[in-house]
């Protein structure tokens, strides 16, 4: 049996704090969820949504019950393939297009196909994915297709200079494309220092009073297969212009980054990881720096948090996941709900569930 997780959830509607104990075999029975799972035939998580050809395509990870005991390195997240989903309209039925890419068809791959993303350019769709190589080191691969639903064919090698997890790809108004990536703990970002991998690295884990590890950002070349220049830090600063510190777990970057542009400003959004908030920081450039602006989603039921944000037919939406269907943190389901930008540029808070009395 999975160990019990005691997590702090804030109930925005009541303005109260409560503790909800969620286990693999027992979960709260009286919960009202904000949204319904998009599909129920498979478990999906980490949804990266995009609008292609007037339709929403969702690129999630595909959770399976691999029978691996849960641990902090995330070995129990043993995904082996990707299914792509699509929506003609928000609130309408979701289509599961089947397997778009299988780990057995990735020449350099070892294990764990984690959260992917996608992009389009010049008639080709690109699927970016994190995967451990045969030495158990995460890199980012890319696969291509002429159809947004796949199937996708993987390149023979990972992207040169790539590492860690959670690629998120953003194309600016001028056509320039950027990739944001990185995740701490199981995502191995803390193991990389000065461009080299160290299996025993403790970078950042015991550096509470030093600047925290940042998400990485890099421009992509026009072929969408290579980095164009060095990998940089997507630095998040506080209101005084100081980098967030390692001990600042409620605000610092941990994993699951995303970028969207709203009224000329760049909104860098991410998960705080071990505290499970979605946070955002705003910048004047897609490469930062970004100034921390607050939380915009309270912790979901299910411990992990990973999202994407899109505009569709003049309205904004956030895709996210929780564990409503299974009650297990490794078997999740994708959902969607509206996202609202306030008049002052902040983002309205979202609470994805309510505990009923």
Residue 2 lies in a domain: no
- The span from the CA of 219 to the CA of 222, in Å, is 10
Give which of 241, 240, 243 is closest to 251, Cα–Cα: 243
pLDDT of the residue at 204: 80
Reported in sequence order, the residue ranges of 113-167 that DSSP labels E, i.e. its strands, are: 117-121, 124-133, 138-145, 153-154
DSSP state of 320: E
Burial group, residue 353, by CB count within 10 angstroms (0-12, 13-18, 19+): buried
Q: How far is CA 329 from CA 48, 67, 131, 245, in A?
A: 19, 13, 20, 28
Q: At 199, give phi and psi (nearest 5°).
A: -60, -30
172 is catalytic: no
- The span from the CA of 11 to the CA of 211, in Å, is 31
Residue 338 lies in a domain: yes
46 is catalytic: yes
Q: What is the CATH number of the domain that holds 128?
A: 2.115.10.20
Residue-number span of the structural domain to which 41 is assigned = 27-355
Give which of 332, 324, 329, 331 is closest to 3, Cα–Cα: 329
Residue 27 banded pLDDT, cuts 50, 70, 90: low
Q: Which two tokens stand for residue 351?
A: 């609470």
> Chain-wide mean pLDDT for the chain?
91
Q: Where are the alpha helices (DSSP H) in the chain?
A: none
DSSP state of 201: -
Residue 17 lies in a domain: no
- The span from the CA of 350 to the CA of 127, in Å, is 29
At 275-302, the pLDDT tens digits run 999 999 999 999 999 999 999 999 999 8
pLDDT of the residue at 273: 84
Computed on alpha carbons and rounded to an integer, the radius of gyration of the chain in Å comes to 19
Q: How far is CA 283 from CA 9, 31, 247, 261, in A?
A: 29, 37, 23, 10
Which pTM value belongs to this model?
Answer: 0.92
- Could you give the number of structural domains in the chain? 1
At 178-231, the pLDDT tens digits run 999 999 999 999 999 888 999 878 778 778 999 999 999 999 999 999 999 999
Coil, helix or strand for 259? strand
Please tell me the number of Cα atoms within 13 Å of 131 on its side-chain side.
33
Q: Which two tokens stand for residue 115?
A: 């959260």
Judge whether 260 and 308 are in contact, CB under 8 Å: no
Q: How far is CA 7 from CA 23, 69, 202, 247, 302, in A?
A: 11, 20, 25, 18, 9
Residue 3 lies in a domain: no
- The span from the CA of 216 to the CA of 96, in Å, is 31
Coil, helix or strand for 340? coil
Burial group, residue 60, by CB count within 10 angstroms (0-12, 13-18, 19+): buried
Give which of 43, 46, 14, 9 is closest to 28, Cα–Cα: 9
DSSP state of 206: T
Q: Which two tokens stand for residue 76?
A: 């129990």
At 301-349, the pLDDT tens digits run 987 899 999 999 999 999 999 999 999 999 999 999 999 999 999 999 9
At 158-189, the pLDDT tens digits run 999 999 999 999 999 999 999 999 999 999 99
pLDDT of the residue at 29: 64
Q: Which two tokens stand for residue 284?
A: 């004047």
- The span from the CA of 165 to the CA of 188, in Å, is 8
What is the separation of C-alpha 148 from the centre of its chain, rounded to a whole number of angstroms?
19
Judge whether 267 and 282 are in contact, CB under 8 Å: yes
Catalytic residue (choose from 166, 204, 255, 323) = 255
At 218-269, the pLDDT tens digits run 999 999 999 999 999 999 999 999 999 999 999 999 999 999 999 999 999 9
């Amino acid at each position: 049996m999975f160990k019990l997780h005691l997590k702090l959830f804030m109930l925005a509607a009541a303005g109260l704090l409560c503790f909800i104990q969620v286990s693999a075999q027992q979960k709260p029975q009286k919960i009202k969820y904000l949204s319904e799972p998009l599909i129920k035939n498979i478990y999906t998580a980490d949804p990266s949504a995009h609008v292609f050809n007037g339709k929403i395509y969702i690129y999630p990870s595909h959770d399976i019950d691999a029978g691996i005991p849960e641990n902090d390195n995330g070995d129990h997240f043993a995904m082996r393939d990707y299914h792509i989903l699509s929506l003609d309209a928000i609130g309408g039925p979701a289509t599961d297009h089947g397997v778009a890419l299988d780990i057995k068809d990735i020449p350099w791959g070892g294990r764990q196909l984690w959260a992917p993303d996608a992009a389009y350019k010049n008639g080709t769709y690109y699927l970016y994915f994190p995967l451990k190589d045969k030495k158990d080191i995460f890199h980012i691969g890319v696969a291509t297709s002429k159809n947004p639903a796949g199937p996708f064919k993987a390149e023979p090698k990972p992207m040169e200079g790539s590492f860690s997890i959670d690629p998120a790809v953003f194309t600016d108004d001028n056509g320039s494309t950027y990739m944001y990536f990185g995740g701490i703990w199981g995502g191995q970002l803390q193991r990389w220092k000065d461009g080299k991998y160290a299996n025993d690295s403790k970078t950042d884990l015991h550096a509470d009073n030093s600047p925290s590890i940042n998400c990485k950002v890099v421009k992509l070349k026009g072929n969408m297969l290579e980095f164009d220049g060095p990998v940089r830090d997507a630095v998040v600063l506080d209101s005084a212009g100081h980098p967030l510190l390692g001990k600042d777990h409620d605000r610092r970057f941990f994993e699951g980054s995303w970028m969207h542009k709203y009224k000329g400003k760049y909104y860098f959004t991410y998960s705080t990881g071990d505290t499970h908030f979605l946070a955002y920081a705003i910048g004047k450039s897609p490469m930062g720096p970004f100034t921390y602006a607050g939380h915009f989603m309270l912790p979901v039921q299910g411990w992990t948090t990973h999202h994407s944000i899109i505009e569709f037919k003049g309205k904004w939406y956030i895709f996210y996941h929780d564990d409503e269907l299974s009650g297990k943190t490794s078997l999740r389901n994708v959902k969607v709900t509206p996202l609202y930008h306030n008049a002052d540029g902040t983002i309205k808070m979202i609470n994805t569930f309510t505990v009923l009395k």
